[in-house]
Amino acid sequence: MAAATNTHVDASLIEHDVYTDDEFLIGGQHTLATIGDKIGSVCLGDTVTPKAWWATFLIGFSLLQAMVVGLVWLFYMGTGVWGINSPVFWGVAIVNFVWWIGIGHAGTLISAILLLMHQKWRTSLNRFAESMTLFAVMCAGIFPLIHMGRPWLAYWLFPFPNNMAVWPQFRSPLTWDAFAVSTYFSVSLMFWYVGLIPDFAALRDVAKTKIQQMVYGGLAMGWRGSAIHWRRYEKLYLLLAGLGTPLVFSVHTIVSFDFAVSIVPLWHATIFPPFFVAGAIYAGFAMVIWLAIPLRHFYGMSDLITKKHLDVCGKIMLGTGLLVSYGYFCEVWFAFYSQSIYEWDTTLQRLFGPYWWSYWLLILTNTIIPQVIWFKRFRHSEFWLFMVAGSVHIGMWFERYVIITTLSRDHLPSSWGRYSPTMWDYMIMFGSMGLFLTLFALFLRFLPMISITEMRELLPRAAGGRDGHAVMENAK
Amino acid sequence: MSTNEIAPETWGILAEFTDADALIAATRSARLAGYTRMDGYSPYPVGEVADELGFPRSEIGAIMFIGGLVGATIGFLMMSWVSVVDYPLIIAGKSMWSWPMFIPITWELLVLTASVSGVIGLLALCGFPQPYHPLFNVPNFARATRDRFFLAIEAVDPNFDLAGTRAFLAGLNPASVEEVPA
């Protein structure tokens, strides 16, 4: 079935594999029924749960307990248990917040932006990438809340008439952030759920046990694939994608405003919004690679997430990595060219001051190491792609670490200080990774990790599909 | 089963097809034969079926547009009222009605309310959640979310006639034709 006539893909990708379609996006010889069975059988428990799933779940769940312990101590003692003190009041908690929310953005990018751009390869990745977004935003959202000192008053962030007769400060980027992140989470959740409705119906109709039928049937809400319903559904899906695209840019722009609207040297920069958005997509694609490669191996999904997908993800990671590196260059150049002594001296502190190692580690992991993706040998090797993505995770974490340690030496030398995170910082940080792993493991086990409906549509016409998602054409 | 026994309790007649193009062709034939109360069912969206059913455009766009506009307007007015009337504070020397600072939240509220109204609109228009539907009485209909395409002509159609409609659907070369009990 492999049609080796497609000139857009280089021959090394196809090797000896058999593909259902001409674009090397679906391996094997799938039909409408087999593709649903393959994805659905994991949810229905017909596929043996891989040992690696248990390892992931147990590691994640253990780390989650560390987070619980960390949070109990934090709530009992207050934010003093963290390493934050004058002049660095924004510590690792904010680093983690930005790191997680950045990771989340690739899910929306894959789902929404690539949909608008008619990229068929998004179809295998969008579901688990959207789940990644949701869970990453949950992890991100925890940090600003627990950073408040009095997290039980978190609802004060939102405007509501109250007997203190006060309102939030609508000119503050921190208030914008509360709206941006909560909107982002809500819209991502709706987009994810709407996408899942037809898949829930598909699971309901093949489920064997009463509980599965009731749960998936309840979640499907009576979906029966009516043409009238599909028309509304596709319009909604397209419009949510259309709104999600500017939303994802606005959210990370607002996150960058938390820094850029201040007057701290090197924070008060117009480069921040685009630089943050590029970094978010960079980190997110690294996480997509980290999730896709294990799915290929442990769940045998290499026929649905093919080498072509990894190749494209690697290229996007490289492209956004170059944008981010350009941002690093611009930061230094702006500081030099502005002739502001504060900007330039803070830059020198960043490059050669007490935290010099974190800056150069950032350059190494985010700018230098990812350059190996230029070479096909590395891009087509799952091992190296995984390693490079790991390097990007470290690099993107240090990017935000470098930003917050800027606070240690700014305008006033008399108030210079040092910052180092404590054990409690790290416990909650690694604990948030445990939360992510736990939620993602549960998602893999109980929800379709790849969109059944969209994969069916992606099948070539000869196999019963419509040769790719036609949402743009059908949405009216 | 004889016609007399089930006629009052028939919801409609369901024809099964093996591919999307057959469903499109069958829907067109049914429309040309004068049927109006019918629907196609498929495991993935087939836009041409909705076109043939005479549903060229959904209401979702208008709903989301209005929802977003209302949410953004209310949000912007709320911030203006709070900042100018109810709780005026001078922040960074800006004027009370420093409206550019309200744009980020206005935008976020636009996206939020447009999306919420779109999702609620979809559910309301489709009548979801709907735990029971007569079609679920047909065991074979489970394949509508798997690998089969169905056309159902409903008993409420003015042209519906149990034997006649059944014969009409059987003439469209379906994989099966079944009566759907109400």
A161 prior amide bond cis, ω within 30: no
Mean pLDDT of B136-145: 92
Q: What is the model's pLDDT at position A364? A: 97
Count structural domains, chain A.
Answer: 1
% pLDDT > 90, chain A: 71
Residue A15 lies in a domain: yes
pLDDT in tens, A321-364: 999 999 999 999 999 999 999 999 999 999 999 999 999 999 99
In a domain, A131, yes or no: yes
What confidence score (pLDDT) does residue A460 get? 87
CATH of the domain at A397: 1.20.1630.10
Do residues A120 and A149 touch, judged by C-beta distance below 8 A?
no
Provide the domain limits for residue A222.
Answer: 11-474
Residue range B147-175, pLDDT digits in tens: 999 999 999 999 999 999 999 999 999 99
Domain for residue A6, yes or no?
A: no
Alpha-carbon torsion, ordered B10, B140, A451, B25, to 10 deg: -70
Judge: A236–B91 Cβ closer than 8 Å, yes or no: no
User: B180 pLDDT exceeds 80?
Assistant: yes
**Per-residue pLDDT, A14:** 54
d(CA A238, CA A235) in angstroms, rounded, equals 5
CA distances from A297 to A53, A314, A439 (A): 11, 18, 20
CB A250 within 8 A of CB A108: no
Whether residue A284 lies inside any domain: the answer is: yes
Q: How confident is the model at residue A13 (pLDDT cuts 50, 70, 90)?
A: low
Amino acid identity at A269 = A
| Residue B122: per-residue pLDDT | 96
- With a cut of 80, say whether residue A475 has pLDDT above it: no
49-88 in chain B: CB under 8 A from chain A = 49-50, 53, 55-61, 64, 68, 78-79, 82-83, 86-87
In one letter, which amino acid is A102?
G
CA atoms within 13 A on the CB side of A211: 4
Q: Is the pLDDT of residue A77 over 50?
A: yes
Residue A4 falls inside a structural domain: no
| The predicted structure's pLDDT at residue A189 | 95
Please state whether beta strands B176-181 and B10-17 pair in parallel, antiparallel, or not at all (unpaired): antiparallel
Residue A73 lies in a domain: yes
Contact status of B129 with chain A (Cβ, < 8 Å): yes
Give the Cα separation of B157 and A43 in Å (integer): 40
Could you give the C-alpha distances from B42 to A282, A370, B17, B48, B126, in angstroms and in order? Answer: 37, 44, 10, 12, 16
Contact A214, B32 (CB under 8 A): no
Residues of B whose CB is below 8 A from A243? 64, 68, 111, 114-115
Q: What pLDDT is recorded for position A401?
A: 94
Amino acid identity, residue A14? I
A3 inside domain:
no
* pLDDT tens digit sequence for A396-453: 999 999 999 999 998 888 999 999 999 999 999 999 999 999 999 999 999 999 999 9
Residue A7 DSSP class: S
**Largest Cα–Cα separation, chain B:** 85
Cβ atoms A222, A142 nearer than 8 A: no
Q: What is the distance between the alpha carbons of residues B35 and A216, in angstroms, rounded to a whole number?
A: 34
Residues 108-127 of B with CB under 8 A from A: 108-109, 111-112, 114-116, 118-119, 121-123, 125-127
Q: Supply the pLDDT for residue A471.
A: 55
Q: What is the pLDDT of residue A10?
A: 53
ipTM for the assembly: 0.93
Model confidence at B2, pLDDT cuts 50, 70, 90, reads very low
| Residue A366 clears pLDDT 60, i.e. is over it | yes
Mean pLDDT, residues A43-49: 89
